[in-house]
Structure 1
Amino acid sequence: MTSMKTDLLMTERRNEKSMHLDSLSIRDIVDLMNKEDHTVAASVQTALPQITDAIEAIVQVVKQGGRIFYVGAGTSGRLGVLDASECPPTFGVEPELVVGLIAGGERAITRSIENAEDDDEAGRRAVASNATAADAVIGVAASGTTPYVIGALQEAKRIGALTVALSCNVNTPMSGEAEYAIEVPVGPEIVTGSTRLKAGTATKMVLNMITTTVMIQLGKVYGNLMVNVQATNEKLRNRVVRIVKEATGAEEEIAATVTHQAGGDARAAILMLQYDIGYEEAVRALEETGGHFGDAMRYLAQN
């Protein structure tokens, strides 16, 4: 397996701005952290072409019935699991569409199992037992050298799945194993090697971009409204009513009544109000268009 010397990684170098971190006041520490965090968005910006190319490929995979797998260890793995777990309530998709695989298994989500990341065979097995050639496998590791993730990408490549590598260094072994490489070099952390900081923030930003953009392309968003949100608690039920109001201009009482008739489905409620149709017809339009809300609107406008 290709390796990189740890001391060559930007994420492992000492940050000259924080050499005397332990002698700073609390205010000086948080000021420094804030200043360093300001650099993260600029680092992500430099990777936007790579991010765009990867998302375009992932969208095609999902449109053809494939799934998205995040594979990572430690902080990177937990961020992948977090992003995957937020997709069903936010976009109304099945939990199987976006899946987070983490070195060490579910226990590693809440407990540190650091040595699990060194097992490249475990990464291969995780992909072999979950993914297929129809899927997209996104390896996530700040260092770009994590054996578990490299093994996972190698297996994904072997079975013919789409492969994407997301790291916070440049020219990494992980990038060499993927069809699409996203590298976001955030530079040294204020606590040397603590990649839960800037690298973690950059990773979260990119993962946000990937799933949010994919879901928009799949018609899970109308304008900037999350019309596929699942109303599973009081806050979200109120949000659905507000979404229906915003999308249709209806009074709150009417929006609430129609939303109730639609079983809390904002999409159906909007279609019912917009086209003066019943719930069954609204559901049929969504089914005819594969759940793409924009296409359902156009379908009803033409029929």
Structure 2
Amino acid sequence: MSFTKTTEQASKYEHLEQMSVADLLKNINNEDKTVPLAVEKTLPQIEHLVTEIVTKMKKGGRLFYIGAGTSGRLGIVDASECPPTFGVSFDLVLGIIAGGDTAIRRAVENAEDDTTQAWEDLKAHSITPNDVVVGIAASGTTPYVISGLERCNENGISTGCITCNAGSPLAKTAQFPIEVVVGPEFVTGSSRMKAGTAQKLILNMISTTAMIQLGKVKGNKMVDMQLSNDKLVDRGIKMIMDEIPVDYKQAGELLKQYGSVRNAVDNYK
């Protein structure tokens, strides 16, 4: 059954090459302003997916993102930022891209059209029904992603998706679909623009909300963050000073002794 791909419809703007730099920037920005409003309309869908993710994670499950091209890269970015931000293990949230790690930097020919590889990629991580797999595809038609979710459905694994076309095959495959319709791109068909921005916003919402629900944030602070550079150590020291009556030097000593803001505060006497 056919459907309309708004991500492929012609741009509302003509003769881009004749625009000044200022006009190009203004018009791109005007289009970008519409993205949060499109995301807002999907909040109930996002809520349903996040609730499922949290439920599974509390039972020991993991979150997988699968995608191709820009969508795959966005999933990898979100997954890779969870350990340093929230102090979770690197295998709690995983991003998988069609074509493997090579495709993170360079496109791998025909990788997104493969209808068997996604399931093989997931099996390499010993996926189980405790896990949740979220397929990311602006078009909603990427064979790699759709076939991966189909196999997950067959094996009792919860599935979600983020797509930017309404009524797509991907949305119909996912148990918890998110359809964020951002409309035609400024450059016709360039879904790395508004569609990519929408996907990034939603991925931020999914992982951040899930981590908060799992207790990885206290108040509004990243109390379990990894102290991987001087900036983060300084931030951690100041967070400790906000919580307990110590000066900068004492807070630094506590942080060094206990290894995290949470442990430093909890063990302070």
Select 1:239's aligned residue among 235, 238, 252: 235
User: Does the 8 Å contact 1:128/1:155 carry over to 2?
Assistant: no
2:19 matched to which residue of 1? 24
Residue 143 (structure 1) aligned to one of 139, 145, 161: 139
Q: Which string of whole-angstrom CA distances, capped at 9 and with x for unpartnered residues, describes residues 257-279 of structure 1?
A: 221221x3111101123xx1xxx
Does structure 2 retain, via aligned residues, the 8 Å contact 1:4–1:173?
no
Q: Secondary structure at the match of 1:255?
A: helix
Deviation at 1:178, TM superposition (A): 1.1
**What is the correspondence of 1:201-240 to structure 2 with a 5 Å cutoff?**
201-240=197-236
Where does structure 1 differ by over 4 angstroms across 4 or more consecutive aligned residues?
none
The alpha carbon displacement at 1:246 in A equals 2.1
Rounded to whole Å, the distance in 2 between the matches of 1:55 and 1:45 is 15
1:101 aligns with 2:96: yes
Measured in 1, the distance between the counterparts of 2:252 and 2:198 equals 39
Please show how residues 1-303 of structure 1 align to structure 2 within 5 Å. 4=2, 8-16=4-12, 18-130=13-125, 131-262=127-258, 264-273=259-268, 276=269
| CA distance in structure 2 between the partners assigned to 1:143 and 1:31 by the alignment | 26
Give, in whole Å, the separation in 2 of the partners of 1:30 and 1:246.
41
Between 139-148 and 110-119, the greater mean CA deviation after superposition: 110-119
Q: 1:38 to 1:114 in 2, by over 3 A?
A: farther
Separation in 2, partners of 1:49, 1:28:
36
Distance 1:11 1:71 in 2: 20
Q: For residues 106 and 36 of structure 1, what CA distance do their matches in structure 2 show? A: 32
2: CA distance, partners of 1:52 / 1:254: 41
Say whether the 8 Å CA contact 1:259–1:266 is kept in structure 2: yes
- What are structure 2's unaligned runs of at least 5 residues? none
**Bigger radius of gyration, 1 or 2?**
1
Residue type of the partner of 1:133? P
Q: How many residues align?
A: 268
Question: Residue deviations 1:198-257, cap 9 Å, x none?
Answer: 000000000000010110011110111000100022121112111212233532222112
State the distance in 2 between where 1:10 and 1:171 align.
Answer: 11
Shift in Å at residue 63 of structure 1?
0.5
Give the root-mean-square deviation of aligned CA atoms: 1.2
Q: Which region of structure 1 is more displaced relative to structure 2, 72-81 or 115-124?
A: 115-124
Partners of 2:215 and 2:242 in 1: CA distance:
17
TM-score calculated relative to the size of structure 2: 0.96
Q: Rate the CA distance shift 1:36–1:157 in 2: closer, same or farther, 3 A.
A: same
TM-score in terms of structure 1 length: 0.86
Cα–Cα, structure 1 residues 261 and 26, in superposed 2: closer, same or farther, change >3 Å? same
Unaligned runs of 5+ in 1: 277-303
Q: Whole-Å Cα distance in 1 between the matches of residues 219 and 49 of structure 2?
A: 23
Distance 2:245 2:208 in 1: 25
Which residue does 1:298 correspond to in 2? none
Deviations 1:22-52 (A, max 9, x none): 1100000000010000000000000001001
% identical equivalent positions: 47
